[in-house]
Structure 1
Amino acid sequence: MSWRAQGMRAWLLQRLTAVYMLWYGIFFGFYISQSPVHGYESWRALFTHPISNIATAVFFYSILYHAWVGIRDILIDYVPLAYLRFFLWVAMTFGLAVLAVWVSMILFSVVSL
């Protein structure tokens, strides 16, 4: 297998993002179950810590990348018209980029440096 094959790289990165999302979900669920967070200030304190904030940012970027690869594969497999596939791909990429900027603005607005 060649690393030049874009499909193999995307497939592997999609699996790695799935593992990270699973790990984050288990860890976050365990943390919340052991120390319940009540109210705005306690939630803000949770995400103010840089490690928690970065882990959450990686989680959301993983979701966006995972979705991008999955939707791209669906478009390649099920949309036969090239121009329609390209239009949908551009719209999806733009939408995910907007979500990435939005998530970044939210997460990094609570970090106190």
Structure 2
Amino acid sequence: MSRQASGLMAWVIQRATAVYLALFLTYLLIQFAFDAPADHAALVAWVAHPVVALGLVLLVPLLLAHAWVGIRDALIDYVHVLGLRIGLLTLVAFVFIASGLWAFKAIITAGLQG
């Protein structure tokens, strides 16, 4: 990919992930408004359902990609000291990786319990 197209790719990623996030959030709002789990065991059983688990497994990397593009663009635009920008991007990357791994572990654990 050429340097000129990197902005286009970020734009496409941001819009594509936003569509999935909006659809999944709408599903969650409807699900919890009309059929909320009564207790923790019911929530774990709901998460263990294959369709819900797949939706959550897709949600994690798409949410992180969406957030990464937004934070990366903000840091590139507003942090002008190169060393500080690289340090902040590295810190955000480590936090996102740790958060993603934690989320996958929680989804898998719920799936094994259900």
Q: TM-score, normalised by structure 1?
A: 0.90
- 2:69 partner letter: V
Give the drift of 1:62: 1.7
Name which of structure 1's ranges 23-32 and 95-104 shifts more when overlaid on structure 2: 23-32
Give the drift of 1:83: 1.0
1:109 corresponds in structure 2 to: 109
Q: Which runs of 4+ in 1 moved over 4 A?
A: none
Structural mapping, 1:1-113, within 5 Å = 4=2, 5-112=5-112
Extract unaligned runs of 5+ from structure 1. none
Name which of structure 1's ranges 28-37 and 13-22 shifts more when overlaid on structure 2: 28-37
Give the drift of 1:27: 1.1
Give the drift of 1:81: 0.9
Identity %: 29
- 1:14 partner letter: Q
Larger RCO: 1 or 2 (CA < 8 Å, sep 6+):
2
Give the drift of 1:79: 0.7
- Write the distance in 1 (CA, Å) between the matches of 2:83 and 2:104: 31
Give the drift of 1:36: 2.1
Extract unaligned runs of 5+ from structure 2. none
Q: TM-score, normalised by structure 2?
A: 0.90
